[in-house]
Structure 1
Amino acid sequence: MSLLTPLLTDHLVVDGVRLAYRDRGRGEPVVFIHGTPSHSHEWRDVVPHIEEAGFRAVVYDLLGYGRSERPVDRDTSVAAQTDLLARLLDALGIEQANIVAHDIGGAVGLRFALDHPGRVRRLMAIDPVSYDSWPSSTWRKIIDEHLDGFTSMPQEAFDALLTRQLRMTVADESLMTGGTLEAYLAPHRSALGRVSFFEHQVRHYDSKYTEEISGRLGDLAMPVRILWGEGDRWQPLHYARRLSGDIPGAELTVVPEAGHFLMEDAPERVVEEIGGFLRRPSR
């Protein structure tokens, strides 16, 4: 899909807030949940292939992210996003879905699967945050230095800060340049965008949302596959091994020469892994 072609095509109101989304294809539903600092753009080279493979693919921007609404007084934490996911599926008439989730989206997917096990057919978590793995050391520094004074940050300084972070998401930093980089920066190219980034995303970088479910991971009964970039600089590989050990029957696949944004470093491999996982029998 072209960098200039928006992946999302529609909007709907769920629980009083507007979400940007895409719902195409037929067959088993597959819901894609993006991470941070990101939006649904990260799935642009993945979702169309899953649609073509015979699945109903649903992808959306989390509340406060991308093209979705950025409400002033609404909780956009991992816990709140999990509750909103249930309402989104209700609005779309989806009783049970496969979930493919990345980064904090992975935390949303894990929490949803624990809270609503009958609604998750299969779960794939791609470089998810987990346990006490987040925020990373570089994000902790940003939180300490900028969270209380971000409203006065010039756009140029903000762009430089986020660019440094985004280049850490890929093993091949040349991939996070040009149009790709601009697409990730675009939602924040305004005063509102900068405020929204810190209020709706960074302010909720809090490991309590994953630590509080760590003792429940053994309750997951649906097929779970964990996909991880070997060179992830934000979520070290030992967390992948810990997750796969704590989730009964979980499969771990490590992708070499790839970082935290696997969909940028190895989109073809991600499509292959998702397709193979979806074709396997569920329990």
Structure 2
Amino acid sequence: MSLSERNPLLDANAIVGGYRVAHGVQGAGEPVVLVHGTPSSSYIWRNVVPDLVRAGYQTHVFDLLGYGLSERPWDPNADTSITGNVTILEGLLDVWRLDTFHLVAHDIGGGVAQRYAVDNTERLRSLTMIDVVSFDSYPSARTRQQMAVGLEILAKRSDEEHRAHFTEWLLSTHSDPAGFDPAALDEYIGYISGPIGQPSLFQHQITHYDPKHTLEVGDRLNELVDTPVQLIWGADDAWQVVDWAHRLNRAIPGSELHIIDECGHFAPEERPHEVASLITDFLGRSAYAPTPAR
């Protein structure tokens, strides 16, 4: 099965830092890079991207290293953390030949975006963060309890038990779990289950749920003062409660905060068209002045 048959947004692979990364480009216009979170993939943008393309933007998506359709490295030293995936993002920007761009991020992707942004403000046309991790907002108390059991033990649980547990976990990303598209839920579960997906979830994702990656740049977020920044949050987000949205809003001077009622943590999945509308409106209002040629 081809990449595009699994995920309509992905149609290419690139080798970045010696690893295979699945990615795709859609549309034409000002470039927008979208970074997904955990335990998902760029699949979460599938209903957002068409709206951005129709609005005249060129979208660039990829699956983080260790996620989705990108490589799941066997090497235990492969860095698939937030910080490690900043390097993947930087490599793809070279592949895409992007100098400046709009950056949109969700969940763990927001940690990647924060670390990239504070060191590269001159390359960002704007930054939009949706229900993102920040400071020491993660892992949640429930996830800490799971981690305390031991990741190796969790990775070896039966497929049936694993799928049941993480189905319940993913359903909690919606304000109304009954509204989670069953086909989409199966797709997300498929990425993190089976003989590769289940151990990969723990090796490449959960083991790296360490707030050091965002705490290290938390006191630098005020450096984004000259970057147009928008925060979008689900009012019913149970994973990253809305208090964190207000803290981020205070930490980033001039940032905008938009809260979507009756929406949980997976806002791009649960309310894609409202998310896309907020993004396109913000990008349209974000004046961009290119850096003079050196």
Question: Fold match, TM over 0.5?
Answer: yes
Amino acid of the residue matched to residue 187 of structure 1? Y
Give the letter for the 2:30 counterpart: E
CA, structure 1 residues 254+3, in 2 after alignment: closer, same or farther (shift >3 Å)? farther
TM-score (norm 1): 0.96
Counterpart CA distance in 1 for 2:58 and 2:181 is: 31
1:3 is displaced (CA, Å) by 9.7
What secondary structure, in the 3-state scheme, does the structure 2 residue paired with 1:171 have? coil
Contact preservation (8 Å) 1:170, 1:265: yes
1:161 shift after superposition: 1.5
- Match among 2, 5, 8 for residue 6 of structure 1: 8
Q: Which residue number in structure 2 is paired with residue 166 of structure 1?
A: 170
Q: Which residue is equivalent to 1:113?
A: 117
Query: Aligned residue for 2:21?
Result: 19
Q: CA deviation at 1:5?
A: 5.6
The letter of the residue matching 1:150 is L
What is the CA–CA distance in structure 2 between the aligned matches of 1:106 and 1:172, rounded to whole Å?
24
> How many aligned residue pairs are there?
282
- Secondary structure of the residue aligned to 1:233 is coil
Q: Residue 179 of structure 1 aligns to which amino acid in structure 2?
A: A
Q: Root-mean-square deviation (CA), in Å? A: 1.6
Alignment correspondent of 1:46: 48
The residue number in structure 1 matching 2:204 is 200
* Cα displacement string for residues 165-209 of structure 1 (whole angstroms, at most 9, x for unaligned residues): 101101010123521210111113321111111000000001111
Secondary structure of the 1:164 match is helix
Task: Give how far 1:87 is off.
Answer: 1.2
Which digits, 9 at most, give the CA deviation of each residue in 1:139-161, with x for residues without a partner?
Answer: 11111124131342111111011
Counterpart of 1:70 in structure 2 is 72
Aligned to 1:211: 215
Q: Is the 8 A contact 1:166 1:176 kept in 2?
A: no
In structure 2, what is the Cα distance between the partners aligned to 1:163 and 1:146? 20
Displacement, 1:6? Answer: 3.1
Judging changes above 3 Å, is the alpha-carbon distance between structure 1 residues 4 and 104 closer, same or farther for their aligned structure 2 residues?
A: closer
Give the structure 1 partner of residue 291 of structure 2: none
Q: More displaced, 149-158 or 210-219?
A: 149-158
Check if 1:264 corresponds to 2:266: no
The partner residue of 2:97 within 82, 85, 93 is 93
AA of the residue aligned to 2:188: Y
Give the 3 Å change call, closer, same or farther, for CA 92–5 of structure 1 in structure 2: closer
Q: Distance in 1 between matches of 2:64 and 2:108?
A: 10
Query: Taking every aligned residue pair, what percent have the same amino acid on both sides?
Result: 42
Alignment TM-score, normalising by the size of structure 2: 0.92
Question: What amino acid sits opposite 1:250 in the alignment?
Answer: S
Structure-2 change in CA distance of 1:11 and 1:263 (3 Å)? same
**In the TM superposition, what is the alpha-carbon distance from 1:92 to its structure 2 partner?**
1.2
The match for 1:228 is 233
8 Å CA contact retained: 1:151, 1:195 = yes
Q: Which residue of 1 aligns with 2:152?
A: 148
CA distance in 2, matches of 1:61, 1:136: 23
How far apart in 2 are the matches of 1:183 and 1:25? 25
Deviations 1:69-98 (A, max 9, x none): 111221001011112211110111001110
